[in-house]
Structure 1
Amino acid sequence: MEPAGRAYFRSIHVLRGAAAFSVLLFHLHVQLTRMGYDGWWPQFLQSGVDLFFVISGFVMWQTTADRKVGLIDFYARRLRRIAPLYWMMTAAIVFVALLVPSALQSTQITLWHTVASYLFIPSLMPGDTIVAPVLVPGWTLNYEMFFYAVFGACLWMPTIWRLRVVPTLLVAIVLAGLVFRPQASALAFWTSPIILEFGLGIIAGYMASSVNFTNGALARLFILSLAVVIGTGNLELGDGRWLLHGLPAAIMMLSLVGIERAGALPRLTVLSRLGDCSYSLYLSHGLVLSAVAQGWRGMGWSGSVAAWLSYMLFAVAAAVLVGWLIYHLVEKPATEMVSSRRTPAAA
């Protein structure tokens, strides 16, 4: 992958791996409940998504600041990076759902929902109240593409103006949503306060070169921010998610970048390897968790602690392996095929 900034920040790559793995662990709960588990689960793990969003804002700032980037070129690069794997996996789900509907449990396929999924347009899932595409984790990509549209439209501005205008636009969009409360699912989706996390990432990207705290202070900031995320994880965050998860995620990211700039970042090899395949892992993990859970239930392994623990261990290992294989066999070759050079992994 191309460096995630004007200088390569290994810390950002590590955080991608941590974010993808966190979301994987969070989604274990969905399948465990279908296997009879009704106990507590660490909801803070969902904050991996918030970390992805602030990383995206950071990367977009770092890769365009003080550089002349054409609007069409910017959008083309983003599409080449995001779309190939996502479209292929969406096609695979549609194919399986039409041929073997029972294999995907509750998934329903309609023409409009499928088209909207390919075009990154937020749409209600058939028979549900959730706004998500055919490949459910792709709901975050709908936010990503919306952010890219806003950010790209401001590329003509001088860098310092872009720093001010893009976050301000995001705030204005959110305020419009809060005032007018749009009923259309797409408008309600795009005006969610969660888009403010991209703005936090932009600000963090601007601050990255000027963070001048001691490593000890940065480590304490990181731990304190992580504690806030963990401590608020099981609260109903609602519109405050950007503040209680997004802001701490931005501070953690900025702290880790500062530690790296000081040459004190540990190797963290496992998280770095997960960072390599984070996009493939993120998009595929739900399907793997579901498939393993169906296998466990089919063999009568549910309703006991042993069944739950064995499921978690096997499902996590399988999801990571499949994500790694998809990255090397599908994502990486596909990205290289449609691009003259590799582009930033802003998943």
Structure 2
Amino acid sequence: MNKKLSSIQAARTIAILMVLLVHVGAIARAVGAQQQVIFLDFGSAGVDLFFVVSGFIMSVVAAERERNPTVFFTKRFLRIFPMYWIFTLVWLVMSVIVDRGATDGEFVLRSLFIWPQFELPYLFVGWSLEHEIIFYGIVGVLLTLRAEQYLAVILATLFAVGIANHVALPDFFDRPPFWDYHLLSLYHFDFLLGVLIFRFRHRLILKQWRTVIFLSLLAFPAIAYFLLPFFEGAVLPTQPEGALGLVRVLTFGVASAGLIIGLWSAEQYSPSHIFAWSLANRIGDASFSLYLSHHIVFAVIAYTVLKIGIPAVFIWPLLLIAIGVAILFSLAWYDKIEAPYNRMTGRAFRTTTPRPAT
């Protein structure tokens, strides 16, 4: 398999740009123009796309590279936690300076260690990492048991039980779902789709990839337009519950899977044509840094806008500038901090991990 996985790289780029679109609304709220950007809430599906990508990537990892569970867990820890700690602590310092209030130390510690929580973590984008960590834990346990071939079955089972907890209990028995630490998350459906796409990737190379990509991209705003009126506050929830939550996960998950299948097919038919834009590849490389940092960048811009008093008429140029600043910051951070750090940890594993005999 192509080590670059250009199609997955493109999916990462699209996913993070969608997340930026939904979160840039914080700046719109600062100037009282939130109603002008409500249609951007389809960007919530960017997280679903990230989850499907994770399902695909972890299948690659389990099948080709990291059958040693100790190496697997160590790499995941080093890849995620240090960068997450840095941006969480930056947000903590900013919050203390601006709010000048006390901070719940236990809550901050739970957030730092990405412990599954009912509420959003301190750096709120970390909520999706809670689901990722649970998924990595499932993969790691199966690697330990040498049973990674059952990953799809396990995810399907957890998803089915999750429907009973998060849909049947609140909708049919009028009882809140019991707290499951995301073990029965409906988002397991997204991870499952990524696993299945990897497993059947050779059968999913479609000549009509242009149509598939176009329809998948069109599906995201169409689904959001249909679902938004049913949710209180006209905001798609991060933790889906009930029948509407299930519909949200199913529809955004299928649209995300369709996009990845289209991109995967495009890579097989015309890789040099569709993945030639170097900036898109660079954004894909920096997607983790951008995901962690954009909220902080947007908050600084929103605070500045409030202090200066920029009128709402300038909202669209302001939002474009904010997204550009967030991307430029993440690219610089990736080049100067994250990429060198990844190379350093990668060299450590190459020098300490013996190569297999075959």
TM-score, scaled relative to structure 2: 0.82
Name which of 16, 25, 29 aligns with 1:29.
25
CA contact (8 A) 1:293 1:311 kept: no
Gaps of 5+ in 1: 125-130
CA contact (8 A) 1:19 1:52 kept: yes
Deviation, 1:173, is 4.2
Q: Comparing 224-233 with 278-287, which one deviates more in the overlay?
A: 224-233
Q: Distance in 1 between matches of 2:82 and 2:283?
A: 20
Q: 1:317 to 1:162 in 2, by over 3 A?
A: closer
Number of the residue aligned with 2:239? none
Number of the residue aligned with 2:79? 81
Q: Comparing 15-24 with 179-188, which one deviates more in the overlay?
A: 179-188
CA contact (8 A) 2:53 2:194 kept: yes
Match status 1:101 vs 2:106: no
Q: Distance in 2 between matches of 1:175 and 1:72?
A: 34
Match status 1:133 vs 2:121: yes
Name which of 191, 199, 209 aligns with 1:198.
191
Q: Which amino acid aligns with 1:228?
A: A
The percentage of counterpart residues that share the same residue type is: 26
CA contact (8 A) 1:11 1:257 kept: yes
Number of the residue aligned with 2:354? none
Q: Describe the superposition over 1:191-217 as per-residue Cα deviations: whole angstroms up to 9, x where unpaired.
A: 331231111111111122232432xx2
Q: Distance in 2 between matches of 1:36 and 1:176?
A: 38
Q: Which amino acid aligns with 1:206?
A: R
Q: Comparing 22-31 with 325-334, which one deviates more in the overlay?
A: 325-334
Deviation, 1:56, is 0.3
Name which of 46, 54, 57 aligns with 1:56.
54
Q: Distance in 2 between matches of 1:88 and 1:68?
A: 27
Number of the residue aligned with 1:127? none
Q: Distance in 1 between matches of 2:320 and 2:178?
A: 37
Match status 1:151 vs 2:120: no
CA contact (8 A) 1:219 1:255 kept: yes
Gaps of 5+ in 2: 229-243, 351-358
CA contact (8 A) 2:117 2:181 kept: no
Deviation, 1:339, is 4.2
Number of the residue aligned with 2:307? 298
Number of the residue aligned with 1:227? 218
Name which of 151, 169, 184 aligns with 1:162.
151
Q: Which amino acid aligns with 2:156?
A: P
Q: 1:186 to 1:325 in 2, by over 3 A?
A: farther
Q: Distance in 2 between matches of 1:108 and 1:56?
A: 36
Q: Describe the superposition over 1:31-89 as per-residue Cα deviations: whole angstroms up to 9, x where unpaired.
A: 20221113343221221111101000000001212666122221111111111100111
Number of the residue aligned with 2:41? 43
Q: Distance in 1 between matches of 2:84 and 2:179?
A: 19
Q: Distance in 2 between matches of 1:164 and 1:84?
A: 32
Deviation, 1:340, is 3.1
CA contact (8 A) 2:52 2:190 kept: yes
Q: Distance in 2 between matches of 1:31 and 1:300?
A: 12
Q: Which amino acid aligns with 1:255?
A: G
Q: Distance in 1 between matches of 2:288 and 2:192?
A: 21
Q: 1:192 to 1:159 in 2, by over 3 A?
A: closer
Name which of 261, 272, 278 aligns with 2:287.
278
CA contact (8 A) 1:28 1:289 kept: yes
Deviation, 1:175, is 3.4
Name which of 70, 73, 77 aligns with 2:68.
70
Q: Distance in 1 between matches of 2:138 and 2:169?
A: 20
TM-score, scaled relative to structure 1: 0.84
Number of the residue aligned with 1:118? 112
SS in 1 for 2:187: helix
CA RMSD of aligned residues (A): 2.6
Q: Distance in 2 between matches of 1:212 and 1:319?
A: 35
Number of the residue aligned with 2:260? 253
Q: Give the count of matched residue pairs.
A: 325
Deviation, 1:143, is 0.6
Q: Which amino acid aligns with 1:28?
A: V
Q: Distance in 1 between matches of 2:349 and 2:258?
A: 28
Number of the residue aligned with 1:18? 14
Q: Distance in 2 between matches of 1:246 and 1:60?
A: 17
Deviation, 1:187, is 2.2
Q: Which has the higher helix share?
A: 2
CA contact (8 A) 1:50 1:242 kept: yes
Q: 1:341 to 1:233 in 2, by over 3 A?
A: farther
Deviation, 1:6, is 6.5
Number of the residue aligned with 2:241? none
Deviation, 1:117, is 0.7
CA contact (8 A) 1:171 1:196 kept: no
Q: Comparing 107-116 with 285-294, which one deviates more in the overlay?
A: 107-116
